Amino acid sequence: MKIGPYQFENSVFAAPMAGVSDAIFRKLAVNYGASLAISEMVSANALLYESSKTRWRLKHLDDDNSVRSVQIVGHDPLMMAQAAKLNVEYGAQIIDINMGCPAKKVCNKLAGSALLIDEQQVERILDTVVNAVSVPVTLKIRTGTNPHHRNGVRIAQIAQRCGIQALAVHGRTRACRFKGQVEFETIRQIKQAVSIPVIANGDIDNAKKAREVLDYTGADGVMIGRAGQGAPWIYEQITAYLNDNKVVADPGVEEKGRVLLSVLEQMYRLYGEYSGVRIARKHIGWYTKGIKGSNDFRKFVNLVESSAEQFKMTHEFFKIQAPAIGIAAC
């Protein structure tokens, strides 16, 4: 797939997820085979660019040479354009616009998926942002505002007309949030209605499901969200299956432990002692889920306040499961 000047080797993408898709998560996804990992959304309100949270969201790791795609969210076209230009100055090579987030705190500001109800405002935002920057602009949407108002096809046509160069579609409406069955028929209709690349998203959690979704919708690629949390190897698994019909098994406990310990070390360096320990807790939960004794382990490890203790406890937990695992300096 090609987006602007960027040719991607495969059709598997890592979705932008609020509070998840930081620089560490994105680099790991790409290392495991994702063609592109998009940043978590950043508010278009330029005043927020001075906050530490926003600086973390905008940060890219120095040794990450993948294409940098930054997602912005907002309602005002001029503010969105300014945010896009600022991010390009900071190193963004692709700007992604969020019109898919169903969170109340976003939709209450008439941003995210709330915009889908106002097609004229959608067009104003897309046109203004595309004309404000020289890099490719992509868009993420839902199929509509509710099951009785699926206007995803019209939004897609507006996007193509405005110069959007790729479109990711989550197969639920704003009202559905993340509940209920994903509906891929609208994505199929969108693919038939536009010529720009269309990427299918929504509950794609294994290689077989990815193949089924691509076959049904005719989409150009798939976007993996929650299934990649604590399981970055899913990108490799899907790519191998789509390209060569090859089945790649889940890694053993030893590899899971090594990946998690590496993530923890990076968390402490990027976020510092206080925030690093707290942000790391959800990653510990993801990587240890389903492993024998993990429920009791999480009860205790989530109480510790120091990175040294958190790291040591995590290493010891995995060493019980996989004695061969090594320990790195923390």
pLDDT tens digit sequence for 228-256? 999 999 999 999 999 999 999 999 999 99
Q: In the prediction, which pLDDT does 52 show?
A: 59
Listed in sequence order, the DSSP H helices in 163-206 are 185-193
Q: Over 219-243, what HEC string results?
A: CCEEEECHHHCCCCCHHHHHHHHHH
Taking CA atoms, 127 is separated from 4, 38, 88, 131, 213, in Å, by 17, 21, 17, 6, 30
Q: What is the pLDDT of residue 38?
A: 96
Read off φ and ψ for residue 170, nearest 5 degrees: -85, 130
pLDDT digits (tens, 9 = 90+) for 201-233: 999 999 999 999 999 999 999 999 999 999 999
Among residues 101, 107, 162, 176, which one is catalytic? 101
Distance CA 204, CA 279 (A): 25
Contacts of residue 206, Cβ cutoff 8 Å, sequence gap at least 6: 227, 234, 237, 238
C-beta of residue 200 within 8 angstroms of C-beta of residue 222: yes
Tokens coding 139? 């868009």
Question: Distance between CA 240 and CA 46 in Å, rounded?
Answer: 41
Q: Which two tokens stand for residue 17?
A: 């997820």
Question: What is the residue extent of each domain of the chain?
Answer: 2-244, 253-321
Name the nearest CA neighbour of 103 among 45, 43, 23.
Answer: 43
Q: How high is the pLDDT of residue 284?
A: 97
- What percent of the chain has pLDDT above 70? 91
* DSSP string for residues in 64-114: --S--EEEEE-S-HHHHHHHHHHHHHTT-SEEEEEE----HHHHTTT-GGG
Q: What is the pairing mode between strands 12-14 and 36-37?
A: parallel
Fold of 2-244: TIM Barrel (3.20.20)
101 catalytic residue (yes or no): yes
d(CA 326, CA 307): 18
For 206, the 3-state DSSP assignment is coil
Instruction: Please classify residue 83 by burial: count the beta carbons closer than 10 Å to its beta carbon, then call 0-12 exposed, 13-18 middle and 19+ buried.
Output: buried
Residue 48, pLDDT score: 55
Which tokens belong to 44?
């278009």
> Where is 170: in which H helix or E strand?
strand 167-170
- What is the per-residue pLDDT for 326? 56
**Residue located via tokens 């090579």:** 93
253-321 matches 2-244 in CATH topology: no
Pick 253-321's CATH classification: 1.10.1200.80, 1.10.630.10, 1.20.1740.10, 1.20.58.110.
1.10.1200.80
| Residue ranges of the chain with per-residue pLDDT less than 50 | 47, 327-330
Q: Give me the pLDDT at residue 328, please.
A: 47
Rounded Cα gap, residues 213 and 182, in angstroms: 11
Alpha carbon distance 320, 302 (integer Å): 19
Q: For CA atoms 86, 90, 95, 101, give the dihedral sign.
A: negative
**What's the token pair of residue 168?**
């990711």
Cα(111)–Cα(105) distance, integer angstroms = 9
Q: Please report how many Cα atoms fall inside a 13 Å half-sphere around the Cα of residue 26, on the Cβ side.
A: 29
